[in-house]
């Protein structure tokens, strides 16, 4: 059994890790970290876990954790993982960081967009960006995995193959993304109150959302040239789900079949990326609770643009599910272990 510790287990992503790991046959959660609820029963914070989790919450002691577990998940705000990680810890345990600390290779870019000094820049190079569909082999050997952001996961998987195949112009990309409210976290803020979110939709972080450079970096790898793009997230009145609608100019005239072939080929062996059929638009509800990403596209011959779409559950493939997928790879398990629950509808 893999022993796992979760720092930040009472945030929504942390709680989703608990849900997934409880049903994972090879893992045992040994540490429910939560600064805000130290010594309180985990199940009193998340009553869905009543009688399923008997543990109490514990402080963020990464040193001690490293002695007790095989893998640490940090589902915490930016900066925490980078401030705690060190060689001794990494020599004893693996870390999967759900924060942004190790996602961006250029520390200056990180520090500019996150307005934060990076406390462990020495580990940035070693860390692996854990988008399994792209970095599978590197993840297998990693000690430190940077679990991708929710928007970047959905955006990258929706666009990547077409850039790789050089079908679209990377600098014409516009990503208009829509997220459920769990992406905003469990902090008690007026903006996230039921009555403020319900029956409402808004854009936020327009032209300056922190996931922008992360998406640009990954897509630049695919394109082979540096990409600058527009990314606009929106808050949608639903708990879970991210929908990405991305636009780009086609570099040449292509048919629907040719584009579909590119997607199909790229994701042929992927178990969590589903290329939908002709004319079927991804919907977030169809992947809810699961690790799937549904992608599809539509060519607009009038404007010579292509509309690329992707849908996933932000807490699963966009956070906890992907973290477990990374863990599976790092420990030599079947990549899909514990992640094959079908989406729940309705």
Stretch that binds a second copy, among 76-84, 87-95, 250-258, 334-342 (CB under 8 A): 334-342
Q: Are 95 and 88 in contact (CB under 8 A)?
A: no
Shortest CB 338 distance to a second copy, Å: 11
Query: Which structure tokens are listed for 56?
Result: 């109490």
Of 1, 38, 108, 201, which one interacts with a second copy (CB under 8 A)?
201
Can residue 178 be called a binding residue for a second copy (CB under 8 A)? yes
How far is 312 from 259, CA to CA, in rounded Å?
Answer: 21
Stretch that binds a second copy, among 66-74, 156-164, 192-200, 325-333 (CB under 8 A): 192-200
How far is 127 from 308, CA to CA, in rounded Å?
Answer: 29
281 is a catalytic site residue? no
- Tokens 């309180």 -> residue: 40
Q: In angstroms, what CA-CA distances link 205 with 41, 106, 107, 234, 276?
A: 36, 21, 21, 9, 30
Can residue 1 be called a binding residue for a second copy (CB under 8 A)? no
Stretch that binds a second copy, among 110-118, 119-127, 143-151, 169-177 (CB under 8 A): 169-177
How far is 297 from 85, CA to CA, in rounded Å?
Answer: 41
Of 1, 38, 108, 206, which one interacts with a second copy (CB under 8 A)?
206
Shortest CB 266 distance to a second copy, Å: 16
- Tokens 């870390």 -> residue: 95
Taking the least distance from each CB to a second copy, the nearer of 61 and 230 is: 230
Can residue 160 be called a binding residue for a second copy (CB under 8 A)? no
Shortest CB 142 distance to a second copy, Å: 28
Residues 222-261 that bind a second copy (CB under 8 A): 228-230, 232, 234, 236-241, 243, 245, 247
Taking the least distance from each CB to a second copy, the nearer of 301 and 332 is: 301
How far is 168 from 306, CA to CA, in rounded Å?
Answer: 8
Residues 258-277 that bind a second copy (CB under 8 A): 274, 276-277
Shortest CB 61 distance to a second copy, Å: 25
Query: Which structure tokens are listed for 173?
Result: 């990309």
Of 77, 79, 121, 343, which one interacts with a second copy (CB under 8 A)?
343
Stretch that binds a second copy, among 71-79, 104-112, 142-150, 292-300 (CB under 8 A): 292-300
Shortest CB 83 distance to a second copy, Å: 26
The size of the interface with a second copy (CB under 8 A), counted in residues, is: 84
User: Helices 256-266 and 150-164 meet at what angle, rounded to 10?
Assistant: 120
Stretch that binds a second copy, among 93-101, 154-162, 321-329, 336-344 (CB under 8 A): 336-344
Residues 22-81 that bind a second copy (CB under 8 A): 22-23, 46-52
Can residue 189 be called a binding residue for a second copy (CB under 8 A)? yes
How far is 212 from 186, CA to CA, in rounded Å?
Answer: 23
- Please pick, among 150, 154, 195, 281, the residue that the annotation labels catalytic: 150
Using only C-alpha atoms, what is the Rg of the chain? 20
Across the strands, what pairs with 305? Answer: 249, 300
Q: Are 324 and 338 in contact (CB under 8 A)?
A: yes
Residues 6+ apart with CB under 8 A from 335: 132, 136, 271, 325, 328, 329
* CA-closest candidate to residue 123, choices 140, 137, 104: 104
Which residues are marked as active site?
150
């Amino acid at each position: 059994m893999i022993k796992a510790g979760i720092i930040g287990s009472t945030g929504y992503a942390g709680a989703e890790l608990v849900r997934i790991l409880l049903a994972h046959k090879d893992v045992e959660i040994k540490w429910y970290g939560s600064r805000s609820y130290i010594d309180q029963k985990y199940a009193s914070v998340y009553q869905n876990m009543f009688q399923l989790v008997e543990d109490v919450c514990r402080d963020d002691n990464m040193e001690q954790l490293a002695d007790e577990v095989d893998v640490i998940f940090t589902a915490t705000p930016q900066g925490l993982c980078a401030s705690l990680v060190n060689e001794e810890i990494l020599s004893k345990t693996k870390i999967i960081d759900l924060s942004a600390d190790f996602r961006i290779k250029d520390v200056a870019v990180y520090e500019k967009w996150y307005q934060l000094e990076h406390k462990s820049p020495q580990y940035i190079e070693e860390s692996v960006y854990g988008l399994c569909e792209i970095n599978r082999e590197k993840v297998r050997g990693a000690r430190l995995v940077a679990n991708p952001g929710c928007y970047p996961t959905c955006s990258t998987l929706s666009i990547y193959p077409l850039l790789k195949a050089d079908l679209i112009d990377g600098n014409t990309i516009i990503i208009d993304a829509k997220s459920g409210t769990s992406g905003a976290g469990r902090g008690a803020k007026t903006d996230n109150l039921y009555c403020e979110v319900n029956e409402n939709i808004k854009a936020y972080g327009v032209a300056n959302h922190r996931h922008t450079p992360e998406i640009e970096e990954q897509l630049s790898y695919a394109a082979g040239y540096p990409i600058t793009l527009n990314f606009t997230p929106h808050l949608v009145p639903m708990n879970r789900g991210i929908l990405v609608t991305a636009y780009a100019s086609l570099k040449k005239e292509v048919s629907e079949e040719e584009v579909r072939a590119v997607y199909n080929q790229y994701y042929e062996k992927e178990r969590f990326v589903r290329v939908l059929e002709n004319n079927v638009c991804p919907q977030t509800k169809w992947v809810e609770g699961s690790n799937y990403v549904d992608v599809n596209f539509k060519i607009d011959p009038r404007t010579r643009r292509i509309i690329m779409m992707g849908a996933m559950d932000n807490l699963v493939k966009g956070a906890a599910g992907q973290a477990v997928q990374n863990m599976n790879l790092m420990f030599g398990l079947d990549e899909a272990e514990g992640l094959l629950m079908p989406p729940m509808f309705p």
